[in-house]
Amino acid sequence: MKESSENGARIARVLARAGIASRREAERMIAAGRVQVNGKRIDSPALNVSARDRITVDGAPLPAAERTRLWRYHKPAGLVTTVRDEKGRPTVFGSLPAGLPRVLSIGRLDLNSEGLLLLTNDGALKRRLELPATGWMRKYRVRVHGSPDEAALAPLRAGIRIAGERFQPMQVGLDRQQGANAWLTIGLREGRNREIRRALESLGLRVNRLIRISYGPFQLGDLAPGAVEELRPKVLRDQLGLEMPAGTAAPGRRRAPRRRG
């Protein structure tokens, strides 16, 4: 059993891909002595394993790794994008339909934001799609209180600096004025915390609704709030270059359970 292998993968990643736990949780399980490789208990995640290694957790053989899967989820406002919240607020993961496997969010939407959130069972895919180097455009429909004109929005297109932090140029379209509010379409390639809200507030524009409508090639479309739809294997192959096993069934759309008031 070698410490490294060109064809192997870190033990914690293997456990996560098999749906046992997140990589961080898997590392804790290893430290607690719950994992054995080829009959030997291990206490460090600094170990690469291959398909030839026999892995058990609490004495049970490791299930086969799941294929990479990706879902579109229409996040409603009022949910936090964490597994658990220290303030006791409702979370995305507590509001998903029954029957989904353990999933991870690709990026985040803050409590008051809504719209497209991508979910996956593959931690490596999550990290890949969150990297700035991926360069995917994220587009938002944004309602602000105020009456901005094109000149007022020009700093966003040029790149704005707030409290010493520089934001990259955004794509900004002024769609329409609706009473005391204006609707904008904003595109960006970064994912900083509350980036759009902070940038617009620096111009004196208060955001009162923010909806993500796309993440790279994936669109929110007509997906209803709270609904989840798994992307077809062909889409993963065409958009991400992922090869899917032959005969994989086409996924369907699921509605989230209604939250009781």
The verdict on whether 43 is a catalytic residue reads: no
Per-residue exposure over 174-201, b if at least 16 CB sit within 10 Å of its own CB, e if not: eeeeeeebbebebebeeeeeebbbbbbe
Query: Was domain 9-61 assigned CATH 3.10.290.10?
Result: yes
pLDDT tens digits, 164-220: 889 999 999 999 999 999 999 999 988 788 899 999 999 999 999 999 999 999 999
User: In which band, very low, low, confident or very high, does the pLDDT at 55 lie, cut at 50, 70 and 90?
Assistant: very high
CATH top class, domain 137-215:
alpha beta
Catalytic member of 110, 149, 175, 222? 110
CATH top class, domain 70-133+221-243:
alpha beta
What per-residue confidence (pLDDT) applies to 172? 97
What mean pLDDT do residues 36-50 have?
93
Residue 156 has pLDDT above 60, yes or no: yes
Domain ranges of the chain: 9-61, 70-133+221-243, 137-215
Rounded to a whole number of angstroms, the distance between the first and last alpha carbons of the chain is 54
Q: Do domains 70-133+221-243 and 137-215 have the same CATH topology?
A: yes
* Residues with Cβ within 8 Å of residue 238, at least 6 apart in sequence: none
